[in-house]
Amino acid sequence: MVYNLALRLSGNAADAQDIAQDAFLRAIRGLADFREGSAAATWLYRITVNVWKNRVRSEKRRSFWKTFSLDRDKDEESGTPVLQIASPEPPADAALEKADEKEILEKALAALHPEDRAILVMREIDGRSYEEIAVITELQLGTVKSRISRAREELRQKLGALVQDNGT
Amino acid sequence: MEHNTCRENLSAYLDGELPADEKLSLESHLAACADCSRELAELKKVSAVFKKNVMEPVPYSLKDAVFAPRERTVFSRWARPVAAFAAAGALLILALPTLREQKQAYSPAVFQAVATGGAAASAGPGPAAFGARRNISVPDHAGAADAAEAAGSPKYAAPSFSKKGAFAQAKFSAAARSATGAVRGSASSLAGGSDDFFGEAAGQGALAAAAKPAHSPAQPKWVNDLIRRHQQGPRGNPPYTIWQYSYKGAEVYYLPPQCCDQYSELYDAKGGLLCAPDGGMGGRGDGKCLDFYELRKNGRLVWQDARGAR
């Protein structure tokens, strides 16, 4: 799970392995900081997210932050979910419909904010509560709620026919 | 509830994260709003597609990457045993809260195995403590089974068994084995090993005693096929085993997890994948059959890879 969390944060396998490795080493070295009252997984995930954040900062990926504008935080910090209005047009690339389901999902995920991808992994795969995710990511509870809502909505639009409900 | 408010809350509703009053209000709106109902159905499908496809296998090299640098650069040679002992204690502390949370799913033997660093063997393989979830995606059980059945083939499609040799996981138990037995038990719990890992040495002895490489004529063909495939493939770590149980009145087959980032697998008699009773970071598998450890009966080791661990 740590590796997959790192993979969704970094977006590539090489960085994911570095992040996972770093996170595990920090976890082992920092066992003294672990509080028995907190869940071990939450603690380990938090380390992973922090390792990723530090890497992003240290590498000064300006282009990264331009791509994923920080303006979004205005809405996030208010805790108000941002509603995405579905485009009335069909999915941009109709050929995607024929592609492999995983491939379609990967393309859709690529458009999400890395942290949103990781949040979805924690929610969908590991069943973490919004509160736990807020602790791990150091975000407000409302922000977590809005990010999950927005990420799912973006995926819903991008997955197109794959998830369209025809009432059956 | 306003239409737009409803849409904003659909995702939280799906996750069971809405307060009771908002949930009631939303459900009331859903009953009258076809658009919101459709959107909710589509969000459920998004969730299903995500779960089915998002997980990637953990690179085999991660274990070495995690442990090798620590041994070379962090600890001097003389300090290794001391550090290993300290890490064992610390990791044990780390493991215990989770174990306590899941104590209903653990046999006393598992606790004993953890406490002793590997001195007890349980009556059968049990759930992992916690650790990285297994490498394969959460399967769409029904979909996969239906597809296989429609094709006239057994439902069992070796969804991950055939991959286990190729995909590594973090393999913390292996790294821990290089230090001490105590480290082995604790580190594997961090990584999500099963109780096979906790009590590997003693456990293997007990398993070996019980292991009668079985090719019973009454055994389903897919089980024999699976055994044959394993015998021809790389060894697992821990050694591959197949267990048979009675569960909710039906005959089922349980395949314990390989190290770390993997789920266990529970199949019906026809080879249809039912669920993952344990494994993964939470040690609770896919959460679809949490009662397996309480309800399973008549455990029998069907087969164990006589070649041992990888």
Q: Are residues A84 and A150 in the same domain?
A: yes
Strands B297-304 and B265-268: unpaired
Residues A55 and A86 in one domain: no
B10 has a chain A CB within 8 A of its CB: yes
pLDDT in tens, B69-111: 444 444 445 555 566 666 666 666 555 555 544 444 333 333 3
Domain interval for residue A41:
1-63
pLDDT of residue B17: 92
In what side-by-side order are the strands of the sheet with B250-255?
A: B273-275, B265-268, B250-255, B241-247, B297-304
Q: What is the pLDDT of residue B1?
A: 61
Task: Tell me, yes or no, whether A72 and A150 share the same domain.
Answer: yes
Q: In sequence order, what are the beta bridge partners of B300? A: B244
Mean pLDDT, to the nearest integer, of B205-232?
66
Long-range contacts of range B263-267, CB-CB < 8 Å, 24 or more positions apart? B263/B133, B263/B134, B263/B136, B263/B160, B264/B125, B264/B127, B264/B128, B264/B194, B265/B159, B265/B160, B265/B161, B266/B292, B267/B156
**Is B237's pLDDT higher than 60?**
yes
In chain A, the residue whose alpha carbon lies closest to the alpha carbon of B16 is A129
Contact at CB, A167 and B38, closer than 8 angstroms? yes
Residue of B nearest to A118 (CA): B54
pLDDT at residue A141, rounded to an integer: 93
CB B217 within 8 A of CB B158: no
Residue A90 has pLDDT above 50, yes or no: no
Structure-model confidence comparison of residues B283 and B270, the more confident one? B270
> What was the pLDDT predicted at B95?
54
Residues 6+ apart with CB under 8 A from B56: A3, A4, A7, A13, B135
Q: Which among B39-48, B166-175, B218-227 has the top mean pLDDT?
A: B39-48
Measured between CA atoms, how close is A62 to chain B, in angstroms? 27
Query: Among residues A3, A82, A146, A42, which one has the least CA distance to residue B66?
Result: A3
Q: Which of A162-166, B2-6, B153-157, B191-195 has the lowest mean pLDDT?
A: B191-195
Percent of chain A with pLDDT over 90: 18
- Output the six-digit token pair for B258: 């390989």
Q: State mean pLDDT over A40-46.
A: 83
A57 and A41, same structural domain? yes
Contacts with A20 from chain B: Cβ below 8 Å: 58, 62, 66, 170
| Interface residue A152 vs chain B (CB under 8 A) | yes
Per CB-CB distance under 8 Å, the chain A contacts of B101 are 39
> In this complex, which of A36, A125, A149 lies closest to B93 when CB atoms are compared?
A36
> Which of the given ranges, A3-17, A134-148, B117-131, B142-156, has the highest pLDDT on average?
A134-148
| pLDDT surpasses 70 at B61 | yes
pTM of structure: 0.46
Residues of B in Cβ contact (< 8 Å) with A148 = 11-12, 15
Mean pLDDT, chain A, rounded, equals 77
Domain match, A79 and A52 both = no
Residue B79's pLDDT is: 55
- Specify whether A96 is located in the same domain as A49: no
Identify the residue among A9, A18, A78, A124 best suited for mutation to test binding to B, counting B beta carbons within 10 A and taking the highest.
Answer: A124
Q: Within this chain, do residues A3 and A26 fall inside the same structural domain, yes or no?
A: yes
Domains defined along chain B, listed by start: 3-53 (1.10.10), 62-304 (no CATH)
Q: Which of B58, B173, B171, B52 is nearest to A16 (CA)?
A: B58
Report the distance separating Cα A120 and Cα B50, nearest Å: 9
Q: Does the beta carbon of B32 lie under 8 angstroms from any beta carbon of chain A? A: no
The last residue of one of the domains, among A44, A63, A82, is A63
Please, which pLDDT band fits residue A38 given cuts at 50, 70 and 90? low
Domain boundary among A26, A47, A63: A63
β-pair partners for B242 = B303
The one-letter amino acid at A62: R
Q: Do B95 and A17 touch (CB under 8 A)?
A: no
Interface contact flag, B41 A81, Cβ < 8 Å: no
Mutating which of A148, A156, A168 best tests the B interface, going by the most B Cβ atoms within 10 A? A156
Q: Chain B neighbours among A 50-69 (CB < 8 Å)?
A: none
Instruction: Share the mean pLDDT of chain B.
Output: 63
**Do residue A48 and residue A101 come from a single domain?**
no
Question: Among residues B177, B210, B193, which one has the least CA distance to residue B256?
Answer: B193
Structure tokens at B120: 């007890």
Residue B42 near chain A (CB below 8 Å): yes
Among A26, A41, A63, which residue terminates a domain? A63
**Secondary structure letter of residue B130 according to DSSP:** S
We report the CATH number of the domain holding residue A22 as 1.10.1740.10
Write B272-275 long-range contacts (CB < 8 A, 24+): B272/B141, B272/B145, B272/B155, B272/B156, B273/B139, B273/B141, B273/B144, B273/B145, B273/B155, B273/B156, B273/B159, B274/B141, B275/B141
Test B17 with A130 for CB contact under 8 angstroms.
Answer: yes
> Residues 75..104 of B with a Cβ closer than 8 Å to A: which?
87, 90-91, 93-98, 101
Q: Is the pLDDT of residue B161 over 60?
A: no
User: Does residue A74 share a domain with residue A18?
Assistant: no
Alpha helices in B130-285 (DSSP H): 141-150, 161-164, 172-177, 181-191, 195-198, 200-210, 221-232
Looking at residue B258, its pLDDT comes to: 76
Clarify whether residues A112 and A40 are in a common domain: no
Asked whether the beta carbons of A105 and A121 are under 8 A apart, the reply is no
> Do A52 and A83 fall into the same domain?
no
Q: Who has greater pLDDT, A33 or A118?
A: A118
Is the minimum CB–CB distance between A121 and chain B shorter than 8 Å?
A: yes
Q: How many CB atoms lie within 10 A of CB B68?
A: 14
What total of structural domains would you count in chain A? Answer: 2
Residue of B nearest to A165 (CA): B42
pLDDT score recorded for residue A3? 87
Which is it for the CA torsion B273, B279, B283, B286, positive or negative?
Answer: negative
Most confident option among A37-41, A158-162, B94-98, B137-141: A158-162
A107-112 mean pLDDT: 90
**Best to test chain A binding among B54, B130, B260 (most A CBs inside 10 Å):** B54
- Predicted pLDDT at B141: 36
Whether residue A74 is found in the same domain as residue A137: yes
**Cα gap B49→B69, rounded to integer Å:** 37
Cα separation, B169 vs B257, whole angstroms:
11
How many Cβ pairs within 8 Å bridge chains A and B? Answer: 156
Percent of residues, chain B, with pLDDT higher than 90: 12
C-beta atoms of A81 and B8 within 8 A: yes
- Range of lowest pLDDT (A48-57, A82-91, B142-151, B221-230): B142-151
Residue range A124-129: mean pLDDT, rounded: 88
- Greatest C-alpha distance within chain A: 55
Using the beta-carbon criterion (under 8 Å), do B49 and A162 form an inter-chain contact? Answer: yes
Mean pLDDT along residues B104-131: 36
Indicate which CATH number applies to the domain containing A130. Answer: 1.10.10.10
CA angle A67, A71, A72 (to 5 degrees): 90
pLDDT over threshold 50, residue B139: no
pLDDT of residue A154: 92
Flag whether residue B298 sits within 8 Å of chain A, measured between CB atoms.
no
pLDDT confidence of residue B177: 34
Q: Cα–Cα distance between A79 and A142 in angstroms, integer?
A: 4
Query: Quick check: A35 contacting B, CB < 8 Å?
Result: no
Chain A contact present for B184, CB below 8 A = no
Instruction: Return the pLDDT at B124.
Output: 47
